[in-house]
């Protein structure tokens, strides 16, 4: 019996659905990473961004303590728990996140004064890896959106400097063009290697990139 091929799926525009939301639904239905995430039990397609970055850079290997900044809906923390099951994971997000086994979740804005101390207390020691998938809510103005997201990655990097063990790693989301020159210079002073990467799971039209910093120099870079 010949197997019937299924082509691209389309969503009819419902009375209460905007053309933009219809386009988003069509993209979701036809996205292989969305289908794979459902099959593999991940909460979001972004899990594969972390898997692909780790396959290239290997920062999860041997990690014992990891902080996940902007963890909602939890795909990255799920990857960490699957790749290194005995790892202590602490995540934070302003949005509510359903529990993940083995992950301590703080429902809090990372930019509040109390957040860094609470994360460190929950982790119980120096971090091997700090991950930041944080991005500011977009306002539709590319330069403004890039600056707001850059402010978040700068804050995440400053936090990483204070919590990472020597030899640790930091991975943060940036916009197209990468981190700005001043931040890159500081990261290169603090880490042995600093590279930009766009994993295949990032959509082609997306402006997101990631800065991957490994070999934290600790106090020697102060």
Please give the positions annotated as active site: 173
Burial class (CB in 10 A: 0-12, 13-18, 19+), 208: middle
Which of 175, 179, 111 has its CA nearest to residue 143?
A: 175
CB neighbours of residue 34 within 10 Å: 15
| φ/ψ (deg, to 5) at 104 | -90, 125
Which of 183, 164, 167 has its CA nearest to residue 175?
A: 183
Q: Are strands 65-69 and 88-93 parallel, antiparallel or unpaired?
A: parallel
Separation between Cα atoms, residue 29 and residue 120, nearest integer Å: 39
Separation between Cα atoms, residue 18 and residue 196, nearest integer Å: 36
Separation between Cα atoms, residue 81 and residue 94, nearest integer Å: 21
């Amino acid at each position: 019996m010949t197997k019937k091929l299924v082509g691209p799926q389309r969503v009819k525009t419902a009375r209460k659905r905007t053309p933009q939301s219809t386009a988003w639904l069509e993209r979701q239905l036809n996205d292989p990473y969305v289908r794979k995430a459902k099959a593999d039990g991940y909460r979001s397609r972004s899990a594969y961004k972390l898997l692909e970055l780790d396959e290239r850079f290997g920062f999860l290997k041997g990690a014992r303590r990891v902080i996940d900044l902007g963890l909602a809906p939890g795909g990255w923390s799920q990857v960490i728990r699957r790749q290194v099951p005995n790892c202590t994971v602490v995540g934070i997000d302003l949005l509510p996140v359903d529990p993940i086994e083995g992950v301590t979740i703080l429902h809090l804005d990372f930019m509040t004064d109390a957040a860094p101390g609470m994360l460190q207390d929950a982790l119980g020691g120096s971090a091997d890896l700090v991950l930041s998938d944080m991005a500011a809510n977009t306002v539709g103005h590319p330069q403004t959106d890039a600056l707001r997201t850059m402010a978040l990655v700068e804050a995440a990097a400053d936090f990483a400097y204070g919590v990472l063990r020597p030899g640790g790693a930091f991975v943060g989301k940036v916009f197209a063009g990468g981190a700005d020159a001043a931040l890159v210079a500081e990261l290169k002073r603090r880490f042995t290697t600093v590279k930009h990467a766009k994993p295949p799971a990032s959509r082609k039209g997306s402006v997101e990139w990631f800065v991957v910093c490994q070999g934290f120099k600790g106090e020697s870079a102060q």
